[in-house]
Each structure stands twice: as structure tokens, then as C-alpha cells.
Structure 1
Amino acid sequence: MQKILIAVLLLISSLAFAQNGQTFTNENKTYLPNIKTVLCYNSNKEQSIPVIMLNSPETITFSFDDLLSGTQNYWYTIEHCNTEWQPSQISSIDYLGSFNDDRILNYRYSSNTTRKYTHYEITLPNTQIQPKIGGNYVLKVYLDGDKNKPVISQRFYVLDNQVAIAAEITNSMQVENRNYKQKINFTINHSFPIQNPYQDIKAVVMQNFNANTIQVNTKPAFVRPNQLVYNDLNTNDFWGDNEFRKFDTRSLRYKADNVKGIYRDNESVNVILFQDVPRTAGAFANQFDENGNFFIRNTDGRDDKTEAEYMSVLFTLNAPTPGPNGDAYVVGRFNNYTMGNENKLIYDASRKQFYGNVILKQGLYDYEFAWFNKDTKLMETKPFEGAFFQTENSYQVFVYYRRPGARWDTLIGYTNLSNKVSDRR
């Protein structure tokens, strides 16, 4: 069975490369079905936002698993982007103080696992790849040194810190949304002259590091000496959503939080979660979560990276379909809140039930259910999760500056704030 699975994955991989339009995009994305568990974070804290200070000892940790096992010839490079994540109109010489690309040589094989895989890992900057200006970057992994064979694209940030950001989370100023939305007000404090703040400065606000929630600010409400104030009544309103659902598979020897059953044989591990229900009605219930994050853990072994099992996790949502034309998905940071066949749910109309299997690595996971309306082209969690202003969320504020005459956007300010008791960056 294992040989059949490997053969199928190899066939899928070759077909993926053969497809027209299989090219890199500057978003968090995996291009092959055998690539799982892509992690990218500031090395100082696991699963933190991937932001590092320019010319500092800080590094980015980037890793992934290849379910084909064995050893593949993976290469990587990084590319500087503007605020819209389009390639900056500059040469790599302008933003790299080193080589343009390098091969991934740090890999380890899994051990004591039912499904074999190879774990790859790099840190940035390193002796080969060294960004030398601040801004948005995309890390691109490709096969056999051929950029026409994309494997992974992953966003990260290099901060050239020049401003201070003071931010707060409040209720929405719109009366009809005060019970459902949260509003972000912030002030940029700068010590250098900004000639045209309406043109030279852009501020991006994001909820729970979810790119689907991005709001771009180009016009401050007030321009004061050494201050730009962003507190317009109609901007930076976010749906509060709900606390994330979660499950715990740190051990496969017993059933922990939200796990109904664990079934394993010589070829696979299957985990069945308790059935979920919509949370759109009733009062808000506060519970501890990780704001959509996930952590690879294996308390049954010694090494989380290479001894954690891969599981087929069954999600079930007992709910009627929110509309006649749409699809449901299970999302979280584990899949970058994106829509794909691997996290799409099947609907059983007779039972009014959504269900789907997702292959995940053993650990702790936050998740939620989202509905993609094909008519409006919007993906929302409200139809299944509700929205409450009391929900504890984290927000990221990125400030970009394009100095007069420059051809690129520099990230000059960043802050991560939360309405939790403590901010877990």
C-alpha cells in the first residue's frame, strides 16, 4: 500500500509540473500535494509572525515535509516585493548582499512513523542568502534548480525600523456593528520628515495573520507634527468572528481534546474529531485559543520534527448549507486560510452535514469553518462561526515608506497587538 501511495504521489507531482500556468505566485502556497506542514516564523519564538529586524541577529526558520520521502534536489531564492506583493522593479543586486539562490542541504528522514517523510529546514539570513534592505519578501522553493518547477512560495518580512506605532483595539464606531466588529486605531510616530504622507506612506492591517483580512490605509485621518493618525470612523473595521475551534493530537495513545477516536494500522493513522455545530446563535463563550495557529508536537516520541505522525483527520460539521451556490472549507493557519481541494468539505444534503478528511501532522491545531459564496466571491466564517466583538484576536500593523525617487517600498514599522490578557507574538 505504501508503494502504491508513493507511485500515486509521484504521478500527481509530474502532472502538476506538466500543467500549463504552473508558475510561482507571491502568496503563501504549496504547489505539490506531497509537500506538507510548511512552517515559517521568527526563530526567537515558534510560530511567531515571520518578521525579522534588518542587520540584526534575528533569523527566520523555514521548514517543510516531503511525503515522497527519499531526497529531492530542492533549491530556493528570495524576491523583494512591494506593498501589494508584486515584484519590486529593482535588480536582485539591490536587495541581496549575497548569492541569488542556494540548494537546501539540511534534511532529515522520519523515524518510528507509519508514513515515511523527509523533513527539510533552512534559516534566513544565512551565508548564502542575505537580504540587505527592508520590505516584503517571498521565499521560493523549486525543484532541480528550475524555477519553472515551483514547490513552495512563502511570505516573510524584513523590518528596517524607523517609526513607532501606537495602536488600540476598540468597538466599531458603526452602531449596527458594535456587537460584531472590532476597530483598530493607530498612530505612526516618526522623527524624520515625510514630505507627502498621502503618497509616501502605506499602512496594512491584518487580523490573526490572515491575508484574507488585509485592509490597506493610504490616507491618515490627521497629519500632525511627527505624527500620522489613523482613526477614521469608517476604516479598519474587522468582524470579531469567534474563538477558534481546536483539537489535540500530541499523543496518539489516548483521546485528548475534541478527539472522538484514533484508529491506526500498519499503513495509516486516522483521527475522528467530535462533530461540530454552528455557533451563530446564543451568547458568546470565551475560551483559550491560539488565534488560528498550530504547533507540531509528539509526546510519544523525542523529536517533534521527524517522529510526529501524519494523520488523516475527519472533520464533521452538522449544519445546513448557508446558500445555494457555494462551498464550505475547514481553515486555519495550517493551510494559510486558503481554499483547496484538500480542505474542501463534502455536503450530505440528507443528513445536513459537511465532512472532509485532511492530512495533518501530529500536534495542536486551531481551526474554523468558512463558506465561500460563489456569487459574491467572498469567503466568510460568519455563516458557521458567528461574529462577536468580545472575541480575542491578534492584529498586525505594517507601515511601508517609499522615499521620494525610490523604486521600492521599505517596511519601516511593525507592531503586533492583541486584546488577550497577554500577547503571544
Structure 2
Amino acid sequence: MQKLIVILLFFISSLAFAQTNQTFSNENKTYLPNIKTVLCYNSSKEQSIPVIMLNSAEKIILSFDDLLGGTKNYWYTIEHCTSDWQTSRISTTDYLDGFNDDRIIDYRYSSNTTRKYTHYQISLPNMQIQPKIGGNYILKVYLDSDKNKPVISQRFYILDSQVAVAAEITNPLQVSDRNARQKINFNINYSMSIANPYQEIKAIVMQNFDPNTAIVNTRPAFIKPNQLVYNDINTNDFFGNNEFRKFDTRSLRYKAGNVKDIYRDNQSVNVMLFQDAPRNTGAFGNQFDENGNFFIRNTDGRDDQTEAEYTDILFTLNATAPTANGEAYVVGRFNNYTLNKENQLIYDAGRKQFYANILLKQGLYDYEYAWVNRDTKTVETQPFEGAFFQTENSYQIFVYYHRPGARWETLVGYTNMTNKISEGR
């Protein structure tokens, strides 16, 4: 029965790749099914948050694979955005030095893999494209120098550091939430002139770099000399959720973490994970995770980027549907926590099981199950994963400044912290 499900799901996931008529959106998104494993991070640390300092030696790395192989004529550009990811109403000359776009010329072909692909990579800033102001940016990749043929849109950040952010993770004040939620309090310390913090300063708090969790702060609880305090009892409360589930496909010669079975045919490699159970009851179980991250690794070869195999991963969740109107998804940073058909689970009401088959490159992956409640229009992980204050999560705080008379918002402060450490700038 399980093999039949795998074959059916593999057929669905292997439909012919085709260009569709789409337009760019300012979100993390891939527009073609043949584009896989989009990575975007600060080059100083693999899979770090894609934030770099303005006018520094730091680089943003964007890479991806094209499963159609060969060589394509891919181009890219970047655009400045507002804090809520709307395109800024400014000219490219306001935020760019150099050219407006460029062709991707850094690519390599896969080797020793069942499924052939081409690996592409971009490094920013570069000699052609150089951002000159801080803020939110969207990187757009498109085919044949035609922006009407979108391939990838990816968010990244350039920090023009002007304020310091000090933050802490603490228990909520409401007694009923203390075992399930985590509260973020933070201060913005500044020396520049801020006439009206309510209009000029905006702070966005995010959990595990998941845009679905973003909370916008526009009103500090207290205004002190050279300091804005955000500690209102009703804001910046997050469900602690649970430690992420994970699996390990670094090698396909043996069955590593959470892998039940591996089998091959002439065209594909299939990996069946052990069946998952809900974790919304019982005590918190501590385990090490990467806060939703993933890392491409291939211990069977020498090059992670071009010798790692693509495998069809079968996820199985033994659970009933939490509500009558909704869908379940497998999410993590490997798909930017996106809720789409590719990572949606199929529900077998008779067996009370959810299934999904997702094509992923060899490596280490964190994942969790999310439920989209269509009645309340909310995305919830608690029905499958539970929620605990003890869970270790990372939190990102982005601070934006809209100078009076300016035509754009600047990212002036940023910190990335966990329950244990903080990496402020």
C-alpha cells in the first residue's frame, strides 16, 4: 500500500515542467517547477539570515538548481522595497550603482547523479550591481532577459546600522499562556534625531525567519531619552511551538536519522521516512534542531552542490484532520514556509493519515506540520506539534526608519537571537 502511494505521489510531482504565465510578487517564491533548492544567505555563514551591512565586504549568496539541465539564459535584478515589501516608489538611481540587471554566468553541471541538473549561483554586491542604500530588497531572476518570464523572487536585507537593539525572551504575563508561549521584549537605543517615533520608526519581529509569524510594532510602550521601549503586555507573544522534526539523507548508502527505507529505479531515488505522530499532548521532549533550517550535504561524493542526489521524500503523518475545513502542509525553511500544492499533504480519512511526496536534494532538513484553518483563516502548527515555552527558537528583529521628507524606508537596526545567544548589529 505504501509503495502504491509513493508511485502515485511521484507521478503527481513529476508532471512535465512548463513555463506558466505569471508575474513577479515581492515574496520568496519559485515560479517554475524545475527550479529547486533556492538558497539565500550571508556568505559569512551557510544558511544564515540574508542580512549584510551596507558598504561592507559582506556578500549575499543566492543559488538554485535547474532540473531541466543544460544552460539557460537567466538574468537577475534587485529592487528596493518598503518595510511591508511593497516596491519603493523611487528610481533605480536612488538605490543602485552600476547596472540595473545582469546575466548569471556562474553555473556548473551535476555529475554522478541519477537526476541531472545545473547549479547556478549569484554573489551580491558585485561589479555589475551595487546597492547604495539600506532597506529591504527583492532579488528577481528571470528567463531570457524578459521580466515577464519570472523564475525566482527572493528577499534579502541591507543594514545601514544606526541604532542598537537589545532584546530578551521571557514568559508572557498571562498565566494561561506561560507554558505555551514566548514573549519578546526589546529596546531600541539611538543617538540620531527622531522627532516622532510613532511615524518614523517601525520594528518587525519574526520567529525562525518565518514570514508567516511577523508582528509589526509601530508604537513603543515607553519613550525615553535616546531609547524606545517595546514591552507592552499584549504584543510580541509567540507560540513556543516544538523543536523541529528532522531527517538525514547525507548518504544514500545507509539509512540515517528518521529514514525508514531507500529504494531506487532507473529514474529516481525514493526515501521513505518513519511515520510521524502528533506531539500536541504530553510533556515537552527536548532535542537539538536547526530552528527550521536545512543544509545541503552529500557524504557519498566530494561536492555538495553538484554531486548531491535529488530524492523523493515520502512524509507520513498519523493524525486526524483538526477541523473539517482546512489543509495540512509540510513546512520549513527549505520551502520558505510556503503553503502551496507542492508541499500540501493528501488526507486518507479511512486510515487517518496524511501523505506528501516532495522532491528534495540530499542533506539535513528540519520540518514541521502546519494546519491551515479555513474557518479562522489562520496557519497553526499547534494541532500537530503542540506548543511549549521551553522550545528553543530564533527571533529576528528588523528596525526601519522613515526620515521626514525621505521617499523610502531604511533598515537601521537588526538583531538575531535565540533563547541562549544574541547576534545584534
Range into which the TM-score falls when normalised by the shorter chain: over 0.9
Indicate the percent of aligned positions where both proteins have the same amino acid.
Answer: 76
* Gap change, CA 1:84 and 1:424, over 3 Å in 2: closer
1:65 maps onto 2:70 in alignment: no
* Alpha-carbon distance, 1:193 to partner: 1.5
**2:31 paired residue number:** 31
Q: Distance in 1 between matches of 2:301 and 2:371?
A: 37
Query: 1:319-358 maps to which residues of 2 (within 5 A)?
Result: 319-358=319-358
* Alpha-carbon distance, 1:122 to partner: 0.8
Paired residue for 1:13, among 4, 9, 18? 18
Asked whether the equivalents of residues 9 and 68 of structure 1 are also in contact (C-alpha less than 8 Å), the reply is no
**2:149 paired residue number:** 149
- 5+ unaligned residues in a row in structure 2: which ranges? 1-9
Q: Distance in 1 between matches of 2:260 and 2:16?
A: 34
* Alpha-carbon distance, 1:174 to partner: 1.8
Q: Distance in 2 between matches of 1:246 and 1:227?
A: 41
* Alpha-carbon distance, 1:423 to partner: 7.0
* Gap change, CA 1:236 and 1:92, over 3 Å in 2: same
* Gap change, CA 1:203 and 1:368, over 3 Å in 2: same
- State the one-letter code of the partner of 2:388: F
SS at match of 1:384: helix
Query: 1:26-105 maps to which residues of 2 (within 5 A)?
Result: 26-105=26-105
1:242 maps onto 2:242 in alignment: yes
Query: 1:271-286 maps to which residues of 2 (within 5 A)?
Result: 271-286=271-286
SS at match of 1:212: helix
Query: 1:298-377 maps to which residues of 2 (within 5 A)?
Result: 298-377=298-377
Q: Distance in 1 between matches of 2:75 and 2:15?
A: 19
Q: Distance in 2 between matches of 1:9 and 1:108?
A: 23
**1:402 paired residue number:** 402
Asked whether the equivalents of residues 273 and 314 of structure 2 are also in contact (C-alpha less than 8 Å), the reply is yes
* Alpha-carbon distance, 1:267 to partner: 1.2
* Alpha-carbon distance, 1:9 to partner: 7.5
TM-score (norm 2): 0.95
SS at match of 1:62: strand
* Gap change, CA 1:141 and 1:65, over 3 Å in 2: same
| Range with bigger deviation, 205-214 or 415-424 | 415-424
Asked whether the equivalents of residues 416 and 422 of structure 2 are also in contact (C-alpha less than 8 Å), the reply is no
Q: Distance in 1 between matches of 2:116 and 2:422?
A: 38
**1:195 paired residue number:** 195
Asked whether the equivalents of residues 81 and 138 of structure 1 are also in contact (C-alpha less than 8 Å), the reply is yes
Q: Distance in 2 between matches of 1:161 and 1:259?
A: 44
- State the one-letter code of the partner of 2:63: S
Q: Distance in 1 between matches of 2:222 and 2:388?
A: 29
Asked whether the equivalents of residues 110 and 116 of structure 1 are also in contact (C-alpha less than 8 Å), the reply is yes
TM-score (norm 1): 0.95
- State the one-letter code of the partner of 2:298: N
1:297 maps onto 2:297 in alignment: yes
Asked whether the equivalents of residues 10 and 68 of structure 1 are also in contact (C-alpha less than 8 Å), the reply is no
Q: Distance in 1 between matches of 2:149 and 2:355?
A: 33
1:173 maps onto 2:178 in alignment: no
Q: Distance in 1 between matches of 2:228 and 2:279?
A: 39
* Alpha-carbon distance, 1:371 to partner: 0.5
- State the one-letter code of the partner of 1:97: D
- State the one-letter code of the partner of 1:411: L
* Gap change, CA 1:50 and 1:91, over 3 Å in 2: same
SS at match of 2:97: coil
Query: 1:206-245 maps to which residues of 2 (within 5 A)?
Result: 206-245=206-245
Q: Distance in 2 between matches of 1:137 and 1:193?
A: 25
* Alpha-carbon distance, 1:11 to partner: 5.2
Asked whether the equivalents of residues 158 and 411 of structure 1 are also in contact (C-alpha less than 8 Å), the reply is yes
Give the superposed CA RMSD.
1.6
* Alpha-carbon distance, 1:424 to partner: 12
After TM superposition, where is structure 1 displaced by more than 6 Å over at least 4 residues in a row?
421-425
- State the one-letter code of the partner of 1:58: E
* Gap change, CA 1:421 and 1:56, over 3 Å in 2: closer
Q: Distance in 2 between matches of 1:183 and 1:421?
A: 16
| Range with bigger deviation, 262-271 or 385-394 | 262-271
Asked whether the equivalents of residues 264 and 270 of structure 2 are also in contact (C-alpha less than 8 Å), the reply is yes
Q: Distance in 1 between matches of 2:361 and 2:14?
A: 17
- 5+ unaligned residues in a row in structure 1: which ranges? none
- State the one-letter code of the partner of 1:196: N
Q: Distance in 2 between matches of 1:424 and 1:366?
A: 24
Q: Deviations over 1:230-278 (max 9, x none)?
A: 0000000001000000000000000000000011122110000000000
* Alpha-carbon distance, 1:375 to partner: 1.5
SS at match of 2:93: helix
